[in-house]
Amino acid sequence: MSPNELSSYLIISAILFSLGLFTVLTRRNAISVLMGVELILNSANINYVAFSHFSSGNADGQIYAIFVIMLAAAEAAVGLAIVLAIFQLFHTIDVEAAETLKE
Amino acid sequence: MTVSTAVFYLIALITVGSAAMVAFSRNIIYSAFSLLGTFMGVAGIYIFLGADFVAAVQVLIYVGGILVLILFAVMLTHRITDVEVTNRAAGRIPALIIIGVLVYLLIATIKVTPWVRAKEVVYAATTATIGDLFLYTYLLPFELASLVLLGALIGAVVLSRKEIKE
């Protein structure tokens, strides 16, 4: 592991992805699931920027990273609005409460 | 070990440690605040990769926008005065086995694969390059992105307003 090797960044990104996947798999709280999704998106972004820096040498990967950040912002806004709507209906944000998709 | 290597290890440790806090903490507020460490750590990694503009965007949008949004959602959906702000988890053992195998496979693949390297790694300011790319090569995705953001804005407003019962 050193800051001048591609593989060290890929390893950090793999660990972040796995922790995000763990959060998504185990949490029953809808907001925690969204936090796990953010971790996964961040790990994908590290890969984009790392490959853009070490392998391609141009800024295309950084453009994709910015698009992913933009979509993550949109996803967080809509996702948290849905979570608030579920909370108003069921008075809990346990994802198992909303599994029937009706009152 | 040089100073930059030590700083890199520190940033990697902060990133992974905070992500572990997000994944394993019992209190959802601790989870939400640990995301701060992860996002700042990832911004530091971007700086190590010579992506100054992406690092600034990461701090502005993730820390300034998404994290605040998540904290607002946590505060709106939990009674903060409760001592026990739980963050229930289920099926931890199978999930731990799955991600253990996943991490092992990913790291083994990363170690084995002969990655292509560019001739030379350059460190230069990227903002002008990114601006040019957005306005020439990636103009259509850029405009589509603004439409997506408009749709998300309207969607969030429609979803979160109170329903008026007749």
Is B166 inside any structural domain?
no
SS3 of B39-105: HHHHHHHHHHCCCHHHHHHHHHHHHHHHHHHHHHHHHHHCCCCCCCCECCECCHHHHHHHHHHHHHH
Q: What is the pLDDT of residue B132?
A: 92
Q: Are A75 and B68 in contact (CB under 8 A)?
A: no
Q: Report the C-alpha gap between B142 and B131 in whole angstroms.
A: 11
From chain B, the residues in CB contact with A57 under 8 A are 118-122
Identify the DSSP state of B162.
P
Quote ipTM for the complex: 0.90
Domains of chain A, residue spans: 6-90
Name the residue with higher pLDDT: B127 or B1: B127
Nearest by CB to residue B66, choosing from A1, A18, A73, is A73
From chain B, the residues in CB contact with A37 under 8 A are none
Q: Report the C-alpha gap between A69 and A28 in whole angstroms.
A: 25
Is B123 inside any structural domain?
yes
Q: pLDDT, tens digit, for every residue of B101-132?
A: 999 999 999 999 988 887 777 788 889 999 99
Q: Do A6 and B115 touch (CB under 8 A)?
A: yes
Q: Report the C-alpha gap between A20 and B41 in whole angstroms.
A: 15
| B7 token code pair | 């700083």
Q: Do B61 and A35 touch (CB under 8 A)?
A: no
Is B165 inside any structural domain?
no
Q: Report the C-alpha gap between A84 and B35 in whole angstroms.
A: 20
Q: What is the pLDDT of residue A86?
A: 84
Per-position pLDDT tens, chain A of length 103 = 778 888 999 999 999 999 999 999 888 888 889 999 999 999 999 999 999 998 887 888 999 999 999 999 999 999 999 888 888 888 777 777 777 777 6
Nearest by CB to residue B110, choosing from A7, A81, A84, is A7
Domain that holds residue B127: 3-160
Among B155, A35, A36, A79, smallest CA distance to A87 is for A79
Q: Which of B13, B47, B66, B75 to mutate to test the interface with A (most CBs of A within 10 A)?
A: B66
Q: What is the pLDDT of residue B28?
A: 85
Nearest by CB to residue B118, choosing from A3, A31, A54, is A54
- Provide the sign of the torsion angle of the four alpha carbons B47, B52, B55, B60, taken in this order: positive
Distance from CA of B127 to the nearest CA of A (A): 10
The β-bridge partners of A51 are: none
The CA-atom distances, in angstroms, between A42 and each of A6, A22, A71, A103, B91 are 17, 15, 12, 35, 25
First vs last C-alpha separation in chain B: 70
Among B57, B42, B39, B62, smallest CA distance to A46 is for B42
Number of domains in chain B: 1
From chain A, the residues in CB contact with B114 under 8 A are none
B84-104 core/surface letters (b: 16 or more CB in 10 A; e: else): ebebebeeeeebeeebeeebe
Q: pLDDT, tens digit, for every residue of B58-93?
A: 999 999 999 999 998 888 887 655 545 556 667 788
Q: Which fold has domain A6-90?
A: Helix Hairpins (1.10.287)
Q: Would you say residue B3 has pLDDT above 60?
A: yes
Mean pLDDT over the full length of chain B:
87
Q: Do B16 and A66 touch (CB under 8 A)?
A: no
Q: Report the C-alpha gap between B163 and B166 in whole angstroms.
A: 9
Q: Would you say residue B164 has pLDDT above 70?
A: no
Confidence band, pLDDT 50/70/90 cuts, at residue B43: very high
From chain B, the residues in CB contact with A70 under 8 A are 61, 145, 148-149
Name the residue with higher pLDDT: A103 or B28: B28
Identify the DSSP state of B138.
T
Q: What is the pLDDT of residue B75?
A: 86
Q: What is the pLDDT of residue B82?
A: 54
Q: What is the CATH number of the domain that holds B149?
A: 1.20.120.1200
